[in-house]
Amino acid sequence: MTPLTRTEADFISVTRLLMISGLVFHHLFEIPGSTHSPRLSVENVEHFVPEFVNAFFHMAFMTAVPLLSVISGFLFFHRPQIDYVKLLSRRFYSVALPAWLWSAFWLAFAYILFMTTGDRFRWVDYGFENPSAMTFVNGVFGVTREPFAFQFWFVRDLLLTLLLAPIIYTCLRYFGWLLLPFIGIAWLLIPDPPLFFSGNVPVFFTIGAWLTLPQSPPLGRVLTRVSSMRWPLAVMFAAALVCRVMSHAFGPLESFLQSHVFLCLLRLLGALTMTALLYRLVTGADTLTQQLNRFSGCSFFIFAVHYPLIELLQELAMGVPGHATAFGLFCSWLVVPLLTIAISISVALWCEKRLPALFNLLNGGRGTASEHSGSRQQSTPRGAALRPELP
């Protein structure tokens, strides 16, 4: 196994941070003051520009889960020896335990808010009028429905995928790249796979695992090749997003543009496009990459905090005069997610400084800066090998 170079490690850290930040924009859903879902076409909306922008970026950041899954699969298997017991034990403390603690915290928060405010906040209700044991089990672990802090469905699917990792890797070693078309076809044909909330996590995790096989092309070569096609990819991805958002204008093609198959193709194209653009960023903008690496360790905190924080900030936005105008909707779309990200990072930095033991537990043992950020300050050559940051 070849250790990661600084550039490859930079790409992983920056991608994780920016994709999770993109999830915050994705989870804005309807702009405060609007009832239009960004998953629908923008036919007959009152304020076209902000609704189009929201829908465009909402759909664009559906690529976050695929890319984060590829990174998880790659880092899980990118090592000289694979000890599944040891690896799963590490993931328990770095992923499962902090996710469950955060989920329990947000579920308790929602219950208290529901009991004190009733139905004032519709998004708080998680079946609290007639709670049962499954209300708690699902709210924290997401067994039969998404957890209350619904971003943690991704962690639940990732943990299930990790349990299947020995089977996935055995199949990859036996079939090699030939396994990928088969799971791709299943992904297209089965919108609701058994056990999983979505097929995106196991499919893209498998792609990340495939990249670690001895016969697979090195990560750096793959990133370089994809980056060389960044502009054609960006044009095709933007066109696909416009087609999805404006699907009502394509007549009989509307049903296909709104279909599961087109959404899968959109995710795949988006993952390639984001990979190309972000790798170009880390190879061509060293100062910006260094700044992003300063906060890359906050990625999990942003992921854990952003919902329902973003819902609370939307409630505040609804009280701002003019929020329902076109300009107000655009400002809400931009400011609410950015403020959510800023607050999440600020809380992480404060907690790391003031309550380090608690921060270590809630952030899965990660610091707020990337593990190799110090090496950047020492001008580590781009070809130098680095230890990969754990997912």
* pLDDT digits 0-9 by tens, 87-128: 999 999 999 999 999 999 999 999 999 999 988 898 999 999
Distance of CA 185 to the CA centre of its chain: 23
Task: List b or e across 205-230, with b for residues whose CB sees 16 or more CB atoms inside 10 angstroms.
Answer: bbbbbbbbeeeeeebbeebbebbeeb
The DSSP secondary-structure symbol of 388 reads P
pLDDT at 256 over 50: yes
Whether residue 8 is contained in a domain is answered as yes
What is the per-residue pLDDT for 366? 86
Whether residue 391 is contained in a domain is answered as no
Report how far residue 97's alpha carbon sits from residue 277's, in angstroms, rounded to the nearest whole number: 33
H or E, element range at 386: strand 385-386
Over the stretch 313-352, which tens digit does the pLDDT of each residue have?
999 999 999 999 999 999 999 999 999 999 999 999 999 9
Helix, strand or coil, per DSSP, at residue 368: coil
The answer for residues whose C-beta is within 8 angstroms of residue 342's C-beta and 6 or more apart is: none
Which of 241, 270, 196 lies closest to 38 in space, CA to CA?
241
Which of 267, 362, 234, 289 lies closest to 70 in space, CA to CA?
267
Percent of the chain residues past pLDDT 90, beyond the cut: 91
Cα separation values, 68 from 19, 42, 283, Å: 8, 29, 20
Q: Report if pTM > 0.85.
A: yes
How large is the C-alpha radius of gyration of the chain? 21
Report how far residue 292's alpha carbon sits from residue 97's, in angstroms, rounded to the nearest whole number: 26
Cα separation values, 190 from 87, 187, 193, 264, Å: 30, 6, 6, 11
Residue that has been written with the tokens 């950020």 in this structure: 373
Range of the domain at 234: 4-386
Token pair of 175, please?
Answer: 């079939």
CB atoms near residue 339 (< 10 Å): 16
How many domains would you assign to the chain?
A: 1
pLDDT at 371 over 80: no
Whether residue 245 is contained in a domain is answered as yes
**φ and ψ of 32, to 5 deg:** -50, 125
Whether residue 201 is contained in a domain is answered as yes
Whether residue 115 is contained in a domain is answered as yes
- Asked whether the beta carbons of 314 and 280 are under 8 A apart, the reply is no
The answer for residues whose C-beta is within 8 angstroms of residue 100's C-beta and 6 or more apart is: 140, 141
Whether residue 341 is contained in a domain is answered as yes
Whether residue 129 is contained in a domain is answered as yes
Over the stretch 269-296, which tens digit does the pLDDT of each residue have?
999 999 999 999 999 999 999 999 999 9
Over the stretch 165-219, which tens digit does the pLDDT of each residue have?
999 999 999 999 999 999 999 999 999 999 999 999 999 999 999 999 999 999 9
Whether residue 233 is contained in a domain is answered as yes
